Amino acid sequence: MSSGNPGPCPSQADLLAAAEAPVPSGALSAHVGTCAACQGTLRRMQGLLGVLNDLALEPVPEHVLAAALAVPAEAPGLEARIRSFVARLLPAPAGDARPAFRGASGATTLAYEAGPYQLELSHLASGALVGRVSAREGELTQAGCLLYGGFETQACELGTGGRFRFTDVEPGDYVLIVESEDRRVVVPGISLERD
């Protein structure tokens, strides 16, 4: 609970439901109206959901990615926009047998690169999708994560060390978006297979 709020902060799932709804529920709306942290989270989620309408779960041609990345982050006469990076899957080195994270041997691990950011994703036997975002520059702070695909959308906050976790993620094709106030990392074409 933040000081001055009418109650505890709602869960990420409740905020995601509010972001998808045309009008948030009364109690949630009252809380968000007085909580700067929840206002920021809700605003990020609404922005991320808007981005999802523009994304396809099909591979994006290389020339389209190159053109998108060539667009400057700022245009004359306009406010600074969010700087976006589109991730590409990195090939695993021949004979690579790295474990995903501690204790997660046997998990499917995918490595991505998006501008100055590197992402590692692991789909664990428990169904959890865990990951870590690291950066050579411009560390992402106070970022929200949104996983979209199939029949589900899940949200979580980027935690300490750039780590995040989604629970009960079914095999299928997904898009992951990690967004802070001024940066967005889009990871399209995540394909999680059943073991």
Q: Would residue 168 be called left, alpha or beta, if left means φ above 0 and alpha means ψ between -120 and 50 degrees?
A: left
User: Which mean pLDDT values do the consecutive 10-residue runs of the chain (195 residues) have?
Assistant: 62 78 75 85 75 57 55 43 76 50 56 90 89 81 84 86 91 88 85 73
> pTM of the prediction?
0.60
Q: Do 48 and 88 sit in the same domain of this protein? A: no
What is the domain count for the chain?
Answer: 2
Q: Do 109 and 183 sit in the same domain of this protein? A: yes
Q: Do 97 and 186 sit in the same domain of this protein? A: yes
Predicted confidence at residue 77, as pLDDT, reads 39
Q: Which helix (H) or strand (E) holds 191?
A: strand 183-192
Beta bridge partners of 187: 176
